[in-house]
Structure 1
Amino acid sequence: MPLVRNPLPRARWLRAAVLVAASTGLVAAALPAPPPLGIGDPLFPHLGNPGYDVLAYDLDLTYPGVNTKPLAAVTRIDALATADLERLNLDFTHGTVSAVTVDDIPAAYTGSGEDLVVTPAVPIDAGEQIEITVTHTSDPTGPADTGGWVRTGDGLAMANQADAAHRVFPSNDHPADKAYFTFRITAPSALTAVANGLPAGRVDHGATTTWTYRTRHPMATELAQVSIGSSTVVHRAGPRGLPVRDVVRTADRELMEPWLRKTPGQLEWMERQVGPYPFETYGVLVADADTGFELETQTLSLFERGLFTEPGYPEWYVDSIMVHELAHQWFGDSVSPRTWSDLWLNEGHASWYEALYAEEKAGKSMERRMKAAYAASDGWRADGGPPAAPEPPSPGHKISLFRPVVYDGSALVLYALRQEIGTEAFGRLERRWVADHRDSTATTADFTALAGEIAGRDLTAFFRDWLYAAKTPPMPGHPDWRSRPAEAVRTAVKPG
């Protein structure tokens, strides 16, 4: 939706007029580097920034046609100040900044760790709506396992989870601060550019084309997606006419069709479980890259091409992985984690519906899978912490946060909960959860409180043991289930 901004307050405008002549010198001044800030996330202490709430991002990216060269970029951020600010921090790294303005007035800036520290010419008052514009580059090179841009065989895609969006564009890079997005991508006209949301215009300039996309729902920065390549966009209809668009290499169009045509049925299946799909469109982006993972980028899930071409993967397995990423559109995208310690709510639910789909469609026993997870659970907790209190990721390897305990180890918590409160109450809980917190963020405490409300009894002790204990508690209804020693689990093959 368009964002109507209040004009710069007259008092600030008058003060700005006095200072603007001196602002060029201010930008160039050598400033002491202030410390990087953060919003206090225990797993990512420097991620996110206090003092403002981002309302909308407008990203203007120009791709040079080669995925080893930096993109020229302009990022505009509309934000609401929640505190008086003499300066503000943005998360940004792996790019070169050439200019910053605040309400069109040049501002001073400097780097501090992975923060861009901006000092406006005029201090910002709490309650003011401001526009921050950063002119910068966005560099797609660097170690692949750090996230951000993913170089594909024919261009680029994005994989920003958990803390890599700020390797692409300046942002408040934490899921607690969701915002609307507009993308303008200029690329050689022989290529196709696609991003989250729906198309909002396309302008041909001869040698280049500018593609515009907008989201109709707020989005966490880690879920942003831009695909640039020799691609075909395949359109079809989902439930109630939902636009479904898939993005594949043009050379793979026919090869991928048996997989792509499954999505409308998978959408219908998920809606039967938890209610209406929460966004304006959905689709699958098949990237010609070896990422080692799939990713639930909002409205356009990222998959590596090898998932669909590896002959060793049975069809039911690939189907269930597609449902895993689809389920994230409800759990993780529409309802985002307030802190990264709430990650179990994302991955536990996606793994739950992945397993449930495999059981219903391919006869793969949920109980058998959960019994195996129970056997491994003590070892997973020893290696990575309990589901709702995970240990921080390894330094320099942030993706290590995504351990087995947040996947099947957390789906196991949901299995225990269904055993505890019954199938009917569990189903009502799931639907209420995604309806009550749609387009927002939520915490583990929110989930446990809602579960207790629906169950009609206090579940504090149940969740304390299942979410925070070092040892896995007894499984309701299955007193015979046993967990193996941690040492045995470390040598076993991980599920999934």
Structure 2
Amino acid sequence: MPLNPRPRASHRLRHRKAALLAAAVSVCLLAAGAPATPLGVGDRLFPYLGNPGYDVASYDLSFTYPDTNDKPLQAVTTISAWTTKDLDRVNLDFAHGTVESVEVDGRPAAFTSAGEDLVVTPDHRLPEDSWTRITVKHTSDPVAGKDQDGGWVRTADGLAMANQADAGHLVFPCNDHPSDKAMFTFRITAPNSYTAVANGVPTGVNRVGGSTTWTYRTQHPMATELAQVSIGRSTVLHREGPHGLPVRDVVPSADRKALEPWLAKTPDQIAWMESKVGPYPFETYGVLMAQASTGFELETQTLSLFEKDLFTEPTFPKWYLESIMVHELSHQWFGDSVSPRSWSDVWLNEGHATWYEALYADEKAQRPLKDRMKAAYASSDGWRASGGPPALPKAPAPGQKISIFRPNIYDGAALVLYALRQEIGVQAFERLEKQWVKEHRDSTASTADFVRLASAVGGRDLSGFFQNWLYGEKTPPMPGHPDWKAKKQTKSAKKQAKSAKAPARK
């Protein structure tokens, strides 16, 4: 059954969403006779992502896999939420599926589509501060989204998910914005020859005839973009991490032996991250090695997604692959536990993950952090010109939702953290990192929150420093390195920067 109603989150959470909701509240209260329209929470980069008027507490997702990854899955999504306004209608983000029926609080409701929204009209008004439960019977189509950036990923033997940044709603109806995190329950039914795994911990396996239903629940809130479901002919490997942390990895059964040396590195990598930023924030961790070509790796919560061939047919050096593993691991703190308030805050995710990726390579593989940052400084002006400053990234290119993942929010944002460490000192910087993930655990945070905390830890107002580094068109002088210079942008360099592909990680 769906999770029972929980006590309301503190008003602190609602206030955190206020800025995003303000832009949409005027259209939130739809008259019953008005045309259905797509809504959004006012995100600068994804204007129609998310929906105003409610705060999701939990998702209960059921998928039935049809023994082939080129046909729709039968699905039921139940959303339990608190209303934050009086609502005659409820907009859900949903596309690439057929809706069979909708119920609101156990009663049939009318529904239609508008853009990539499913617009639900219950038979009764939903008053502000009321608990409501919406159940949608639908299909979830892995083929309809094949030309999209994300959603279901078809693997050699089944399916996996890659929902960042604007693709959770290609799989299930949801409030598809990281500002509205919720608890998740997954129920996946598949033929007995398959193994199904999802975020969180297993709570049941029920075999009936030729099929098995696997149930998983998260123990911490999660953004929709971080949901993961793997269905395939897989083996789940178990080991122990620091302090008894359960570590589970999901690998193609045929590649178990070849992948084991890489999987065995995870516990020590977790211990290394804990030494830098504090306790691991979730109930479990592990990696999902998918037989798919995605072009990226992804920090889905508690179960990071990797391309299997990256490790079985390596074209990159060992130290680099290990640092990429740490990149996705560090996202469990930065991006998953502490999620971005808006997509313009994505530099906080990727800048920190790139920072710890580079720091790990510095400490474990003698790849100097200083050299990487000096090289980033030389390219930074070009990255800012092509992709925008780190905290003001340019909008995604039409039809390319993941094109916000440019070098300016990876090494460009890590360069900001290097400058901050130069500015306030190593000890203050390390205190800031630990305090940041502790204060905002299981929540969302913004660039302004980071600036405030850095100023408090650093003992002085750093707003001017951050204004230049995060929003300036040109890269400011590097504290302690007056000799560092940015490259002049030639026409060929500008063209190359515009066509540069995102790094092979998210």
Shorter-chain TM-score: what band?
over 0.9
Number of the residue aligned with 1:162: 165
| Structure 2 CA distance for aligned equivalents of residues 123 and 459 of structure 1 | 47
1:134 corresponding residue in structure 2: 136
| CA deviation vs aligned residue, 1:181-225 (integer Å, no higher than 9, x gap) | 000000001100000000010000120000000000000000000
Equivalent in 122, 125, 134 of residue 124 of structure 2? 122
SS in 2 for 1:117: strand
Question: 1:105-124 CA distances to partner (integer Å, 9 max, x unpaired)?
Answer: 00000000000000000010
| Corresponding residue for residue 5 of structure 1 | 5
| Distance of aligned partners of 1:127 and 1:241 in 2 relative to their CA distance in 1, 3 Å threshold | same
Displacement of 1:31 in angstroms is 7.7
Which letter maps to 2:448? A
* Partner Cα separation in structure 1 for residue 405 and residue 146 of structure 2: 18
| Alpha-carbon distance in 1 for matches of 2:189, 2:378 | 52
Residue 195 (1) aligns with residue 198 (2): yes
**Cα shift at 1:460:** 1.1
- Corresponding residue to 1:391 among 385, 389, 394: 394
1:305 aligns with 2:308: yes
Give the TM-score, by structure 2 length.
0.92
* Structure 2 counterpart of 1:171: 174
TM-score by length of 1: 0.93
Within the candidate set 331, 340, 343, 2:334 is matched to 331
Per-residue deviation, 1:33:
4.2
Q: Gapped runs of 5+ residues in structure 2?
A: 7-31
**Native 8 Å contact 1:53 1:177 kept in 2:** yes
User: 1-side partners of 2:253 and 2:489: how far apart?
Assistant: 47
1:25-424 superposed matches below 5 A: 33-141=35-143, 142-424=145-427
CA contact (8 A) 2:60 2:79 kept: yes
Partner of 2:16: none
Aligned residues: 473
User: How far apart are the structure 1 equivalents of 2:501 and 2:187?
Assistant: 41
Q: Distance in 1 between matches of 2:495 and 2:483?
A: 22
Moved more, 382-391 or 478-487: 478-487
Give distance in 2, aligned partners of 1:226 and 1:2: 18
Instruction: Provide Cα deviations, 1:235-259, integer angstroms capped at 9, x if missing partner.
Output: 0000000000000000000010000
Match of 1:17 in 2: none
**Identical-pair percentage:** 68
Pairing partner for 1:491 from 465, 489, 496? 496
Shift in alpha-carbon separation, 1:494–1:109, aligned structure 2, 3 A: closer
- Which residue number corresponds to residue 9 of structure 1? none
1:151-180: CA deviation from partner (whole Å, max 9, x where unpaired): 000000000000100000000000000000
Q: Which moved more, 1:303-312 or 1:201-210?
A: 303-312
More displaced stretch, 30-39 vs 195-204: 30-39
Q: Distance in 2 between matches of 1:417 and 1:452?
A: 11
TM superposition shift of 1:494: 7.3
Residue type of the alignment partner of 1:224: A
For each residue in 1:91-111, what CA deviation from the matched residue of structure 2 results, as whole angstroms up to 9, or x when unmatched?
Answer: 000000010000010000000
Check the 8 A contact 1:382/1:486 in 2, yes or no: no
The answer to whether the 8 A contact 2:320-2:361 is kept is: yes
What is the CA-CA distance between 1:311 and the residue it aligns to?
3.2
Structure 2 CA distance for aligned equivalents of residues 486 and 380 of structure 1: 10
Q: How far apart are the structure 2 equivalents of 1:84 and 1:33?
A: 18
Distance in 1 separating the partners of 2:88 and 2:148: 36
Q: CA RMSD in A?
A: 1.5
Q: Which amino acid aligns with 2:95?
A: T
**3-state DSSP class of the match of 2:79?**
strand
Equivalent residue in structure 1 for 2:434, among 431, 452, 455:
431
